[in-house]
């Protein structure tokens, strides 16, 4: 399982607009991704309701994870790239998805 720990860069946390940006990115990722508070249970990162329910605040640490299919080594490489991109998005608190995402 690939995992990244990242501090939420949006001052308002993963709420409303930032959550929407994050969920769109996770949905577009092409690999299953989960998100959790550092001490919490993981939820589907592509679910707006699940991400909002986390209640992740600005400055809190969250954990992004993806478990690629074992028989697909390309999928594992894709998962690592996706997690890096999502981690950067969250850490920088971007106001919109980069065009290259």
Q: What is the pLDDT of residues 37-61, one digit of tens each?
A: 988 999 999 999 999 999 999 999 9
The 10s digit of each residue's pLDDT in 6-37 is 999 999 999 999 999 999 999 998 889 999 99
Whether 72 sits among the annotated catalytic residues: the reply is: no
Taken in order of first residue, the domains within the chain and their CATH numbers are 2-92 (3.30.1340.10)
The pLDDT of residue 67? 80
**Whether the predicted pLDDT of 101 surpasses 60:** no
The 10s digit of each residue's pLDDT in 55-92 is 999 999 999 999 866 555 566 678 889 999 999 999 99
The pLDDT of residue 79? 87
Q: What residues are paired with 64 via a beta bridge? A: 4, 35
The pLDDT of residue 100? 56
3: nearest Cα among 85, 90, 66: 66
Backbone angles phi, psi at 40, to 5 degrees: -115, -175
Catalytic residue among 15, 42, 43, 87: 15
pTM given for the model? 0.86
The pLDDT of residue 29? 87
């Amino acid at each position: 399982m690939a995992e990244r720990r990242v501090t939420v860069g949006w001052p308002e946390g993963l709420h409303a607009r930032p959550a929407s940006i994050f969920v769109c990115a996770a949905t577009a990722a092409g690999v299953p991704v989960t998100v959790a508070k550092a001490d919490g249970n993981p939820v589907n990162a592509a679910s707006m309701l699940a991400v909002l329910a986390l209640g992740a605040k600005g400055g809190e640490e969250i954990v992004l994870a993806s478990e690629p299919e074992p028989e697909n080594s390309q999928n594992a490489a894709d998962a690592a790239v996706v997690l890096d991109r999502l981690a950067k998005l969250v850490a920088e608190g971007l106001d919109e998805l980069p065009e290259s995402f």
